[in-house]
Chain A
């Protein structure tokens, strides 16, 4: 089955800096790559996703890039703010509608 590796496990940045979280996946057949944000005690919520026919997607301060040849994708957050502090999960979809999640990255943004 699919295996998703996510790095780093924790990331500390100063407010205003950029943050980058990287994921690799194992199965070249995967075609859907969402990112979820989970605040403490809350549910995971989708923040951005990308499909295999697109190399990059942006939404305000958030962007995701996909390299299908290397089987990796990354989340980029620019101008980080304290409210960006949360755990971020990447995921990959191998079979129709099922997701395999990475272990998560705890992002801490210091004022």
Chain B
């Protein structure tokens, strides 16, 4: 398996522009997580899905952020409009669920810079 795939790996955009980050989880995994990592706040869970359904989006910072999972193999995280404080590394992770919590496998991340 190729592991969790994210695109793009790097994104540089200007304030006010729409940004879309993409994630393909490991095949067969039924949980998908979006995290944001910054020096100041560490790793923050933004939202997670189970069987393509959003379960908890309490970590989404504000209405400018939205996430979708139209099918088991694809998810997007959208920021519209983007702001400089959104600059961070965004990770997608997936896990297989099962009895209790299971290992989360992270993608390579998208480094977002908003100018």
Contacts and interface: CB of A to CB of B under 8 A. Distances in A.
A binds B: yes
B25 interface: no
Interface string A29-67: 001101000000011111001010000000000000000
Interface in B72-101: 91, 95, 97, 100-101
Contacts of A32: 100-101
Which bracket fits the contact residues of A? 20 to 34
A43 B101 contact: no
A97 interface: yes
A80 interface: no
Interface in A51-98: 51, 89, 93, 95-98
Given A44-B91, A104-B42, A93 B101 contact: yes
A90 to B, nearest CB: 11
A19 interface: no
Contacts of B31: 97
A96 B108 CA distance: 24
A49 B101 CA distance: 11
A44 B101 contact: no
A96 B45 CA distance: 14
29 contacts: A31-B101, A32-B100, A32-B101, A34-B104, A43-B106, A43-B107, A43-B109, A44-B106, A46-B103, A46-B104, A46-B105, A51-B100, A89-B42, A89-B43, A93-B100, A95-B56, A96-B97, A97-B50, A97-B95, A98-B33, A99-B45, A99-B101, A99-B104, A101-B42, A101-B43, A102-B42, A103-B42, A104-B42, A104-B43
- The 9 A-B residue pairs whose C-beta atoms are closest, nearest first, are A93-B101, A32-B101, A43-B106, A101-B43, A103-B42, A97-B101, A44-B106, A97-B31, A43-B108
Interface of B: 31, 33, 42-43, 45, 48, 50, 56, 91, 95, 97, 100-109
Interface of A: 31-32, 34, 42-46, 49, 51, 89, 93, 95-104
